Amino acid sequence: MPAGDLAVLVEIDEEIGPALSQRLRALEALASREIAGITETVPSFRALLVYYDPRLVSYPQLCAAIAERLPRASAAVLPATRLIELPCCYRDPELGFDLDQVAARLGLSVHELIRLQTSVDYLVYFIGFAPGQPYLTGMPERLAIARLETPRTKTPQGSVGIGGTQCCVYSVESPGGFWVLGRTPVKLYDPQASEPVLLRPGDCLRFVEIERREYDRIAAAVAARAYRVRIA
């Protein structure tokens, strides 16, 4: 489906989930590597937006070249998944300001809430909405909670929140309807860094609980550009 004169939206009509996400990223990798004239690509839940230069490849040629690669679009063409550990401070009223209220609403102890939230690896489906902002999937069902009735006008950068069936990390300060459980001192977006965006589509994300003292230590190291995120 054309998206203007410089882009085409490739949609795969399958159930949204990790398998489809992997297929889209594999298609993205194949297309970017092999089809001349593609300028950039943006994966999302069910689609891949392919930007191209029509001076280098015609629309029918491009569509045919993409369709031809669909059957080969599997995990085999993707690089190994990165596992990224994100330190997060929960038990601090300044950082995890909704923690107690969420625990009460979900009928969980604070301890159990943090245990559940840190017990799984989240998949970065894609990056969107704001610079470096990941769309994460994989949150335990037990943590599903209606979003805030009145969204906040400002949520601090680094806030780790939950809402609906989703977990999120705010890459920049922005409005939002998520309940904030804690905050990571790591910046998912830092315009001053040589690589401003930490996460990539397809990464796995794991939260690791830290105490306030450790949070402050890491935050200072991040500010001094002396901190390295653990990537496995």
Partner 1 sequence: MIEILDAGPQTTVQDLGRCGQLRSGIPPSGAMDRFAFVVANRLAGNGDTAAALECTLLGPRFAVATTCAIAVTGAAMPIAVNGVEAPAWTTLVLHPGDVVKLGSARAGLRAYVAFGGGLDVPLALGSRATYLRGGLGGLHGRSLKKGDRLNIVRCCVPARRRVRRDALPSYPSEVSLRAILGPQHDRFTAAGIAAFCSGAYELLPQSDRMGVRLRGERIEHARGHDIVSDGIALGSVQVPGDGQPIVLMADRQSTGGYTKLATVCSFDIGRLGQLRPGQRVRFSPVSIDEAHRLLRASDEALTRLTLEEIA
* 39-47, 75-83, 112-120, 138-146 -> range binding partner 1 (CB under 8 A): 39-47
Distance CA 131, CA 129 (A): 7
Reduced to 3 states (helix: H, G, I; strand: E, B; else coil), residue 58 is coil
**Strand ranges for 38-186 from DSSP E:** 38-43, 47-52, 83-89, 122-127, 134-137, 152-155, 159-163, 166-169, 174-176, 179-183
With respect to partner 1, which residue has the nearer C-beta, 46 or 91? 46
* Distance of closest approach, residue 217 Cβ to partner 1, in angstroms: 25
12 contributes a contact to partner 1 by CB under 8 A: no
Nearer to partner 1, 150 or 192 (CB): 192
Residues 185-224 that bind partner 1 (CB under 8 A): 189, 191, 196-197, 200-201
Residue 46 binds partner 1 (CB under 8 A): yes
| Helical pair 59-69 and 18-34, crossing angle rounded to 10 deg | 130
- In the complex, the smallest distance separating the C-beta of residue 171 from partner 1, rounded to whole angstroms, is 7
Stretch that binds partner 1, among 4-12, 96-104, 106-114, 159-167 (CB under 8 A): 4-12
Nearer to partner 1, 58 or 74 (CB): 58
Q: Is 34 in the site for partner 1 (CB under 8 A)?
A: no
Q: Quickly tell me which residue has 């105490």 as its tokens.
A: 211
The DSSP call for residue 82 is P
CB of 196 to partner 1, least distance (A): 7
Q: What residue type is 50 in one-letter code? A: V
CA dihedral 162, 232, 17, 135 (to 10 degrees): 40
Are 191 and 100 in contact by the 8 Å Cβ rule? The answer is: no
Nearest approach, Cβ of residue 211 and partner 1 (Å): 30
**Binding range to partner 1, per CB under 8 A, among 2-10, 111-119, 142-150, 159-167:** 2-10
Smallest distance from partner 1 to CB 50, Å: 9
Distance CA 23, CA 71 (A): 10
Site for partner 1 in 112-141 (CB under 8 A): 126-133, 135
CA dihedral (232, 19, 183, 110) positive or negative: negative
Which residues in this chain contact partner 1 in the complex, by CB under 8 A?
1-7, 9, 11, 16, 28, 39-49, 51, 54-55, 58-59, 126-133, 135, 171-172, 189, 191, 196-197, 200-201
